[in-house]
Amino acid sequence: MVETALIAGPAGNIEVDVHDPGANRSGIALIAHPHPPQGGTKDHKVVTTLAKTFFDLGCVALRPNFRGVGGTEGSYDQGIGETEDLLAVADYAKARYGNLPLTLAGFSFGGAVQTRVARRVAARHLVLIAPAVTRFPVEPVPPDTLLIHGELDEVVPLQAVLDWARPQQLAVVVVPGAEHFFHGRLAQLRELVTRYWRA
C-alpha cells in the first residue's frame, strides 16, 4: 500500500510516496531519483525497484520527488537544495516512525545527492546505483557502502566510477553487460541490494 504525503521542506512542500509495511518495521529507506532536468522522478523504474526491495525487507520506503518535480515545490538547485530536501524527509520519517535504522539509497543524480546527505545524518546503510560522479560533486563515502554500476554505462562511464572509488579503497559491484538504466537487470539489482542489506 502506497501513501502520498506532502512534507514541509525548505522550498515548499515535498511530495513523497511512502511504502509502509506496518507494525513490524525493520528500518527506514530514503530513496533519491535521477536528474530532474532530464526527466528523473520518484517513479523511475530503478527507484521503484529499490522501494519494493526495501519494503519487502520490512523498511518504510520513502520516494520523494525533488524540487520542481511533480507535486514538489521549488525549482532545480544543482543538488544543493535537493540535499536539504532529503534531510527534511529524513527528519519527517524519524519523527513519524521513530529512531529506526536509516538506509540512504540513490540512483544516478540521486546517488550523488545521497553522498552529501550521508555526511549529515547517521545512516546504517548507503546504497549507490550508478552515481553521477562525472556530473556533480560527490562526497567520499563509508567503506561499507554498496556501489553498483553497469559495465556498459553510457551516461557515467565505469572507469570514472572506478577512479572515484579507488582512493577510498571502495569496492564496486560491476554488473556485466548492464547499462546506466539497468534494462533487463532489475531483478539482479534487487538481489544484490537484498544480499547486502541482510549481510
What is the arithmetic mean of pLDDT over 153-175? 98
CATH architecture of 2-198: 3-Layer(aba) Sandwich (3.40)
User: How many C-beta neighbours within 10 Å does residue 91 have?
Assistant: 13
- Tens digits of residue pLDDT in 103-126: 999 999 999 999 999 999 999 999
What is the arithmetic mean of pLDDT over 68-82? 97
Place of cell 521503484: 48
Determine the Cα–Cα distance for residues 165 and 90; give it in Å rounded to an integer: 26
Q: Give the three cell numbers for residue 147.
A: 556501489
On whether the CB atoms of residues 36 and 76 are closer than 8 A, the answer is yes
| Per-residue confidence (pLDDT) for residue 45, from 0 to 100 | 98
Q: Give the three cell numbers for residue 126.
A: 548507503
Q: What is the pTM of this model?
A: 0.97
| Residue 41 banded pLDDT, cuts 50, 70, 90 | very high
Q: Give the three cell numbers for residue 165.
A: 572509488
Q: What is the mean pLDDT of the chain?
A: 97
pLDDT over 80 at 160, yes or no: yes
Provide CB contacts within 8 A for 105, sequence distance 6+: 29, 30, 31, 32, 50, 54, 114, 125, 126, 127, 128, 129, 193
User: How many C-beta neighbours within 10 Å does residue 77 have?
Assistant: 17
| Per-residue confidence (pLDDT) for residue 198, from 0 to 100 | 86
Domain residue extents for the chain: 2-198
